[in-house]
């Protein structure tokens, strides 16, 4: 870890080969291999067979760090994740409107357009792009801790579509993402906070209504 930090290595960077790295950090090669295995398990390093060892894309963020996969009541979990998003993401959007770079705004608009294209093509790939959109907004906030936290919480997006999807919600997704994008691009933190809050509330209410309808059917 100290080697990575000291040498300012970042996502996608390749480490020196095993022999050279062992010399640089002054340990035996067997010790080095054990360290690499440990860092791979923590999603800090990624070993690519035949290529080498690289800094992981989601550095240090392991899959399911909060143990969501062990929660049996997944609908309740989805509802609770929306509650947390409601508390955090409007503020994140406001910070993004203040701190985002022009390049980040351009990238966000690109993802927004991809979401619309995927929805128009009736492709479920829009869910992955939706998560990518919200992840980038959190990065644009400039708050490193919030960025990592929100990326974990946004598992609720994919879980939400597991329970509820409709043409109306897809249309709302297109409109709300446009509004979020425009507010951030306009550098209007108050508007960005408001439209993000409306977006989350709308989805949460749809989920709640769908739950009630299913209970009536039962």
Split at pLDDT 50, 70, 90, the class of 128 is confident
Q: Is the pLDDT of residue 99 over 60?
A: yes
3-state secondary structure (DSSP) of residue 51: coil
| Cα–Cα distance measured from residue 3 to residue 16, given in angstroms and rounded to the nearest whole number | 11
Token reading at 146? 């919030």
Residue showing tokens 């996502």: 11
* Per-residue tokens: 82: 């929306």
Convert the pLDDT of each residue in 139-160 to its tens digit.
999 998 887 787 677 766 666 6
Residue listed under structure tokens 């997704």: 173
| Residue range 30-78, pLDDT digits in tens | 999 999 998 888 888 999 988 899 998 766 666 666 677 777 887 888 8
Residues belonging to the chain: 218
Question: Residue 170 — very low, low, confident or very high, per pLDDT cuts 50/70/90?
Answer: confident
Q: Are 70 and 138 in contact (CB under 8 A)?
A: no
């Amino acid at each position: 870890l100290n080697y990575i930090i000291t040498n300012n290595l970042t996502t996608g960077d390749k480490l020196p080969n095993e022999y050279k790295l062992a010399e640089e950090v002054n340990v035996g090669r067997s010790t080095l291999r054990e360290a690499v295995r440990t860092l791979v398990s923590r999603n800090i390093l990624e070993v690519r067979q035949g290529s080498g060892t690289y800094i992981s894309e989601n550095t240090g963020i392991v899959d399911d760090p909060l143990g969501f996969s062990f929660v049996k009541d997944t609908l309740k979990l989805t509802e609770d994740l929306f509650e947390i998003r409601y508390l955090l993401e409007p503020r994140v959007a406001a910070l993004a409107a203040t701190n985002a770079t022009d390049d980040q705004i351009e990238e966000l608009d690109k993802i927004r357009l991809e979401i619309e294209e995927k929805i128009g093509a009736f492709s479920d790939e829009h869910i992955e792009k939706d998560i990518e959109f919200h992840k980038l907004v959190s990065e644009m906030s400039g708050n490193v801790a919030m960025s990592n936290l929100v990326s974990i919480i946004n598992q609720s997006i994919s879980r939400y579509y597991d329970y509820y999807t409709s043409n109306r919600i897809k249309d709302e997704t297109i409109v709300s993402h446009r509004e979020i994008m425009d507010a951030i691009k306009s550098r209007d933190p108050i508007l960005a906070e408001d439209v993000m809050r409306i977006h989350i509330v709308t989805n949460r209410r749809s989920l709640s209504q769908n739950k009630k309808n299913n209970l009536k059917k039962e």
